[in-house]
């Protein structure tokens, strides 16, 4: 299987082969039974998500477990987790492009789609959490009759700027890469409706060498910009915490620690989606053992960087000597949330150690299991960062625990429905693999030029 992705073969035959493999599930076959079942389920769960949002907008955030001490609860943890997933796709795609990893071509398209959907979902949570969600637009600077301006020194305004820029960026990056493939779909489509739709979406792309030259220039420049942008986005999320005055949050390690966490959870999500896509669309020839092997190594490396971050955090809390910081540290290991903290460490640090062995990295059930555990662990990390610090602040009389409510759990669980629904539509309507890029890589590896 892995040979198929690297062997050059006769150029024209393999080029058409890749295109057939990717485009036929979109154009040729009617949707399979299992796609419809998944679509209906995801649709139902999405309705539940809309219901949760509506009910929160109507009844207010008293529905959630947030209290006067733990003022940030599930919504902020969900936001950080989803934006972490959302950060990884573009970062992976851009980093692998800049470092010329040929295996990028098979995974970048759906990783970018994952980014787009996850970041959109992430953006909903802070708004739901506002208390007065109908005033979310106050974050945007605009001349208004109140003569008020946003508070630029606030990390939440930075957040708004970062997420808004990132969403626009991710969409443009994804779409620019998609244009040539949309033209391919237009040219292969048999029905007039599909030709028309893909033709319009492809902007009339005709593969001119001049267009390719400009496409390449802009796309590569965007990739170079993507890396600092993504790092800044999740750093800003880290600053939401680090720019505060709370023990356990006010740490200079937070921005890079959040960026690595995002890469870590994002790669785990890419692995999860890659396993599902490969099975669902029959892409065994394109998404090969080699991809899973490489992604497994990245997850393992990221797990070690996470370990280093945790160790630094613990060491600095102890070495700094501040009683409040040490108190939070003790609370982490011995307080009521300690079992969750241990579970988080097991998921994020121990589970990825299985990936030392190549045999396990290419064993899909094992890899998928590790990926899911990593994502559970990363969600636990996000919620525990909030709970541990806020439940154990400076004022002992104000210390409270967080009790999640049914609505907390429902909103989190049903947000996956929207993600799944968007992703199912994506794989049904658009090419899930960058066909032009795969063929370019094949051509270059074939050394035909």
Complex with another protein: residue 418 or 433, whichever CB lies closer: 433
Q: How far lies 418's CA from each of 39, 187, 283, 415, in Å? A: 10, 31, 24, 5
Find the shortest distance in angstroms from Cβ 332 to another protein: 29
Is residue 264 classed exposed, middle or buried when 0-12, 13-18 and 19+ CB atoms within 10 A define those classes? buried
Complex with another protein: residue 73 or 123, whichever CB lies closer: 123
Q: Which range of residues in 150-158, 297-305, 325-333, 361-369 is near another protein by CB under 8 A?
A: 150-158
Our finding on whether 187 is near another protein (CB under 8 A) is yes
Find the shortest distance in angstroms from Cβ 210 to another protein: 6
Find the shortest distance in angstroms from Cβ 294 to another protein: 22
Q: Which residues contact 222 (CB under 8 A, 6 or more apart)?
A: 94, 169, 172, 173, 176
Our finding on whether 218 is near another protein (CB under 8 A) is yes
Please, what is the angle between helix 155-188 and helix 104-129, to 10°? 140
Phi and psi at 203, nearest 5°, equal: 65, 20
Our finding on whether 311 is near another protein (CB under 8 A) is no
Please give the Cα distance from 133 to 167 (Å, whole number): 20
Do the Cβ atoms of 55 and 407 come closer than 8 Å?
Answer: yes
Do the Cβ atoms of 298 and 11 come closer than 8 Å?
Answer: no
Our finding on whether 391 is near another protein (CB under 8 A) is no
Our finding on whether 308 is near another protein (CB under 8 A) is no
Our finding on whether 151 is near another protein (CB under 8 A) is yes
127's tokens: 């708004």
Complex with another protein: residue 180 or 248, whichever CB lies closer: 180
Do the Cβ atoms of 234 and 262 come closer than 8 Å?
Answer: yes
| Number of Cβ atoms within 10 Å of the Cβ of 399 | 15
Here the contacts of 338-347 (C-beta below 8 Å, separation 24 or greater) are: 340/380, 340/383, 340/384, 341/380, 341/384, 341/388, 343/377, 343/380, 344/377, 344/380, 344/381, 344/384, 345/310, 345/377, 346/377, 347/373, 347/374, 347/376, 347/377, 347/378, 347/380
- Contacts (CB under 8 A) with another protein, residues 120-149: 141, 147-149
Single residue of 42, 76, 91, 162 touching another protein by CB under 8 A: 162
Please give the Cα distance from 314 to 326 (Å, whole number): 9
Please give the Cα distance from 399 to 388 (Å, whole number): 10
Single residue of 150, 280, 369, 404 touching another protein by CB under 8 A: 150
Do the Cβ atoms of 26 and 428 come closer than 8 Å?
Answer: yes
- Contacts (CB under 8 A) with another protein, residues 8-47: 11-13, 15-16, 19
Contact pattern from residue 223 through residue 242 relative to another protein, giving x for each residue in contact according to CB under 8 A and a dash for the rest: --x--xx--x---x--x---
Single residue of 95, 157, 270, 374 touching another protein by CB under 8 A: 157
Our finding on whether 200 is near another protein (CB under 8 A) is yes
420's tokens: 């799944």
Single residue of 62, 207, 320, 336 touching another protein by CB under 8 A: 207
Our finding on whether 252 is near another protein (CB under 8 A) is no
Our finding on whether 245 is near another protein (CB under 8 A) is no
Complex with another protein: residue 40 or 140, whichever CB lies closer: 140
Q: Which range of residues in 198-206, 318-326, 384-392, 410-418 is near another protein by CB under 8 A?
A: 198-206
Our finding on whether 216 is near another protein (CB under 8 A) is yes
188's tokens: 């292969």
Find the shortest distance in angstroms from Cβ 448 to another protein: 5
Please give the Cα distance from 328 to 319 (Å, whole number): 14
Site size toward another protein (CB under 8 A) is: 66
Please give the Cα distance from 418 to 410 (Å, whole number): 13
* Distance between first and last Cα of the chain: 25
How many residues can be counted in the chain? 449
Complex with another protein: residue 37 or 225, whichever CB lies closer: 225
Single residue of 67, 211, 290, 416 touching another protein by CB under 8 A: 211
Q: Which residues contact 409 (CB under 8 A, 6 or more apart)?
A: 74
Find the shortest distance in angstroms from Cβ 406 to another protein: 37
Our finding on whether 186 is near another protein (CB under 8 A) is yes
**Residue numbers at the binding site for another protein (CB under 8 A):** 11-13, 15-16, 19, 141, 147-153, 157-158, 161-162, 164-166, 168-169, 172-173, 176, 180, 183-184, 186-188, 199-200, 203-218, 221-222, 225, 228-229, 232, 236, 239, 436-437, 439-440, 443-444, 448-449
């Amino acid at each position: 299987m892995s040979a198929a992705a690297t062997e050059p073969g006769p150029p024209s035959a393999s080029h058409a082969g890749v295109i057939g493999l990717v485009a036929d599930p979109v154009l040729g076959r009617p949707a399979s039974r299992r796609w419809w079942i998944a679509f209906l389920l995801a649709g139902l769960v999405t309705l539940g998500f809309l219901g949760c949002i509506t009910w929160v907008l109507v009844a207010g955030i008293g529905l959630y477990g947030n209290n006067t001490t733990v003022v940030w609860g599930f919504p902020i943890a969900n936001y950080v987790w989803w934006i972490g997933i959302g950060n990884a796709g573009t970062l992976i795609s851009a980093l692998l492009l800049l470092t010329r990893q040929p295996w990028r071509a098979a995974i970048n398209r759906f990783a970018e789609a994952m980014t787009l959907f996850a970041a959109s979902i992430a953006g909903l949570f802070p708004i739901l959490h506002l208390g007065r969600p109908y005033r979310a637009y106050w974050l945007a600077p605009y001349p208004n009759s109140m003569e008020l301006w946003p508070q630029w020194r606030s990390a939440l305004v930075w957040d708004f700027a970062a997420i808004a820029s990132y969403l626009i960026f991710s969409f443009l990056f994804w779409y620019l890469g998609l244009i040539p493939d949309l033209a391919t779909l237009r040219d292969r489509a048999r029905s007039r409706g599909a030709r028309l739709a893909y033709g319009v979406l492809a902007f009339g792309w005709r593969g001119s060498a001049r267009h390719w030259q400009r496409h390449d220039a802009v796309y590569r420049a965007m990739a170079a910009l993507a890396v600092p942008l993504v790092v800044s986005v999740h750093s800003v999320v880290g600053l939401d915490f680090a720019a505060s005055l709370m023990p356990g949050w006010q740490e200079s390690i937070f921005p890079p620690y959040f960026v690595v966490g995002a890469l870590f959870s994002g790669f785990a999500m890419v692995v999860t989606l890659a396993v599902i896509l490969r099975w669902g669309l029959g892409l065994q020839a394109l998404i090969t053992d080699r991809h899973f092997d490489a992604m497994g190594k990245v997850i393992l490396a990221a797990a070690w960087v996470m370990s280093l971050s945790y160790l630094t955090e613990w060491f600095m809390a102890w070495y700094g000597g501040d009683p409040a910081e040490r108190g939070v540290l003790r609370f982490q290991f011995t307080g009521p949330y300690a079992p969750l903290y241990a579970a988080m460490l097991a998921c994020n640090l121990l589970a990825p150690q299985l990936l030392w062995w190549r045999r396990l990295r290419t064993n899909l059930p094992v890899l998928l299991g590790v990926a899911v555990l990593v994502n559970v662990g990363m969600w636990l990390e996000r919620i525990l960062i909030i709970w541990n610090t806020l439940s154990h602040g400076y004022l002992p009389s104000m210390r409270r625990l967080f009790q999640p409510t049914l609505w907390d759990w429902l909103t989190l669980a049903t947000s996956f429905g929207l993600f799944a629904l968007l992703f199912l539509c994506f794989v049904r309507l658009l090419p899930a693999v960058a066909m032009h890029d795969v063929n370019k890589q094949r051509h270059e590896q074939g050394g035909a030029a």
